[in-house]
Amino acid sequence: MSNVSLQAVRGMNDILPEEAGLWLWFEDVVRDWLHGYGYRNIRMPLVEPTSLFKRAIGEVTDIVEKEMYSFEDSLNGDQLTLRPEGTASCVRAVLQHNMLYNAPQRLYYSGPMFRHERPQKGRYRQFHQVGVEALGFAGPDIDAEQILMCARLWRMLGIRDVTLQLNTLGDAAARQRHRDKLIAWFEQHKETLDADASRRLYSNPLRILDSKNPAMQEIIAAAPKLMDELEDEALQHFEAVQAVLKRHGIAYEINPRLVRGLDYYNRTVFEWVTTRLGAQGTICAGGRYDGLVEQIGGKPAPAMGFAMGVERLLALLQDDGMPLPRPEVDVYVVHQGELACQFASRVAESLRDDKLRVVMHCGGGGFKSQMKKADASGAVCAVIIGDDEAQVNEVSVKPMQGGEQVRVALSGLTECINNILKS
Ligand code: ATP
Ligand code: MG
């Protein structure tokens, strides 16, 4: 055995119990929120054939070009990838199980995603998303519903200071016209393009608009606008989404430069952004992807979805001074003596029957050291049992936040504890 200490893979984090409490609370809120809109849970594998992501996300995207954990299964030679996002897997599953056969689907999933990026605050190599996909819906109503859903979640979580950025990417023909004009435009400014942009000039010129290189901002700002190419139908769709948002008082900003990093989007795209997390300010992003189902081999079906970055959302909540989640333990049972020990485990079991969360002291020691452990456990009260108490089926109860220690019969114990929990 080597004595090099073993560490987690860089950019892949342990979530320790103190923080996991916040995750559990968040997951509860999110589940209630999703079920409030009729979304149903789906769980896909963490590993998929590499070809799925290449086909769905696009060969010339940051994700496929440089961020995927791809490998060959040494046992059978299959080309596999740790999922970098959920939409491709979700659509694959929906098609494989013929789920669009007779009804549209509202689906959600959550879990880890993997991207080989440079780790920094808000950017990790294993991170978590909650993803929402509505498949088989063509109209602007579902686009608006998903954006309204997000606004509700921010209210449920107490998140303020996030703004909604909105854009439309139009349909295939308009995008093709725009693409041709973009290539012509950037060809005229070849000397200003950086290496990334030159490489993408013919493969993915739309992505050049997303560049943060200051030297290119001027030619980007003056580049041909997709908005000028849009067909009436796409424009009306976009207007209809906006009309619903206005009716519901959802503020938004139209950002013509919002193009998203994945190839499958068309029409409505959006991002929720905060300025409070530094450069990694996008907490939620999504859009319409009407072409993807067909691209993955299904009968054409329109669709719309989004994903939130859980680490970034939780960082925002912590920055806001999240109220502490409720204690995880109600009762710590302290006991000393042979008879007391037997009685104590009966008491603990009966409290659990009454839905209380009980830690039974294990490992011996005097009352004083056991009480210290009770304190450290975060329990709301201690139940204290000595042999004399055990002999008469009674226990002592001490509120850990201060207050009288009282002696009660076993029959009145749950009520006594519940009163302390309520106070
Ligand atoms: P970014 O522009 O920040 O790289 P993206 O466009 O690559 O984001 P999406 O693929 O749209 O991100 O994923 C949706 C959300 O998942 C993002 O808005 C973000 O909150 C979160 N996310 C994406 N990549 C990471 C990462 N490496 N670490 C943590 N969260 C991430
Ligand atoms: Mg990215």
Which residues make beta-bridge pairs with 407? 396
75 CA distance to ligand 1 centroid (A)?
A: 32
Nearest bound ligand to the CA of residue 150: 1
The answer, yes or no, to whether any atom of ligand 1 lies below 6 A from the CB of 263, is no
Distance (Å, whole) CA 269 – CA 93: 23
pLDDT of residue 265: 87
pLDDT of residue 151: 97
pLDDT at position 2 over 70? no
pLDDT band at 321 (very low <50, low <70, confident <90, very high): confident
pLDDT at position 315 over 90? yes
Among the residue ranges 148-152, 261-265, 286-290, 401-405, the one predicted with the least confidence is 261-265
pLDDT of residue 259: 79
pLDDT of residue 132: 98
Average pLDDT rounded to a whole number, residues 248-258: 92
The per-residue pLDDT for range 84-116, each reduced to its tens digit, is 999 999 999 999 999 999 899 999 999 999 999
- Helix, coil or strand: residue 100: coil
| For the chain, percent of residues with pLDDT exceeding 70 | 98
Q: And the tokens for 77?
A: 């030679």
Q: Residue 355 belongs to what H/E stretch?
A: none
pLDDT of residue 328: 84
Average pLDDT rounded to a whole number, residues 15-42: 95
pLDDT band at 309 (very low <50, low <70, confident <90, very high): very high
381 touches 396 (CB < 8 A): no
Q: Residue 172 belongs to what H/E stretch?
A: helix 172-188
Distance (Å, whole) CA 270 – CA 252: 10
The whole-angstrom distance between residue 317's C-alpha and the CA centroid of its chain comes to 13
398 touches 379 (CB < 8 A): no
Distance (Å, whole) CA 15 – CA 18: 8
Average pLDDT rounded to a whole number, residues 221-232: 91
Which residue CA neighbors atom 21 of ligand 1 most closely?
309
- The CA-atom distances, in angstroms, between 124 and each of 12, 35, 172, 288, 423 are 6, 29, 33, 26, 42
pLDDT band at 207 (very low <50, low <70, confident <90, very high): confident
- The CA-atom distances, in angstroms, between 151 and each of 77, 229, 284, 311 are 45, 30, 11, 18
Q: And the tokens for 422?
A: 């309520």
The whole-angstrom distance between residue 356's C-alpha and the CA centroid of its chain comes to 30
pTM, two decimals, is 0.90
Q: And the tokens for 9?
A: 């893979």
Q: Spell out where 274-329 has E strands.
A: 282-288, 303-309
276 CA distance to ligand 1 centroid (A)?
A: 16
Distance (Å, whole) CA 268 – CA 167: 6
pLDDT of residue 423: 83
pLDDT band at 1 (very low <50, low <70, confident <90, very high): low
Distance (Å, whole) CA 277 – CA 279: 6
Distance (Å, whole) CA 47 – CA 112: 11
Exposed / middle / buried, residue 278 (Cβ in 10 Å: 0-12, 13-18, 19+): exposed
Distance (Å, whole) CA 314 – CA 22: 8
Average pLDDT rounded to a whole number, residues 402-413: 93
Q: Which atom of ligand 1 is nearest to the CA of 307?
A: 14
The per-residue pLDDT for range 335-387, each reduced to its tens digit, is 999 999 999 999 999 999 999 999 999 999 999 999 999 999 999 999 999 99
Instruction: Count how many Cα atoms sit within 13 Å of the Cα of residue 321 in the half-sphere of its side chain.
Output: 0
- Helix, coil or strand: residue 49: strand
The per-residue pLDDT for range 23-36, each reduced to its tens digit, is 999 999 999 999 99
The answer, yes or no, to whether any atom of ligand 1 lies below 6 A from the CB of 311, is yes
How does strand 105-114 pair with strand 394-399? unpaired
pLDDT of residue 206: 83
Number of residues written out for the chain: 423
308 CA distance to ligand 1 centroid (A)?
A: 8
Q: Residue 315 belongs to what H/E stretch?
A: helix 310-319
Distance (Å, whole) CA 108 – CA 94: 12
The answer, yes or no, to whether any atom of ligand 1 lies below 6 A from the CB of 309, is yes
- The CA-atom distances, in angstroms, between 422 and each of 200, 360, 417 are 62, 22, 9
Average pLDDT rounded to a whole number, residues 298-325: 89
Q: Which atom of ligand 1 is nearest to the CA of 312?
A: 20
| For the chain, percent of residues with pLDDT exceeding 90 | 83
pLDDT at position 3 over 80? no
Report the chain's C-alpha Rg in angstroms: 28
What is the 3-state composition of the chain as percent helix, strand, coil, each rounded to the nearest 5? 45, 20, 35
Q: And the tokens for 355?
A: 């839905």
pLDDT of residue 212: 86
Distance (Å, whole) CA 218 – CA 41: 45
The answer, yes or no, to whether any atom of ligand 1 lies below 6 A from the CB of 389, is no
The per-residue pLDDT for range 388-406, each reduced to its tens digit, is 999 999 999 999 998 899 9
How does strand 381-386 pair with strand 331-336? parallel
Average pLDDT rounded to a whole number, residues 159-170: 93
262 CA distance to ligand 2 centroid (A)?
A: 9
Q: 22-26 long-range contacts, Cβ below 8 Å, gap at least 24?
A: 22/314, 22/317, 22/318, 22/322, 22/325, 23/310, 23/314, 24/325, 25/325, 26/157, 26/310, 26/313, 26/314, 26/317
The answer, yes or no, to whether any atom of ligand 1 lies below 6 A from the CB of 285, is yes
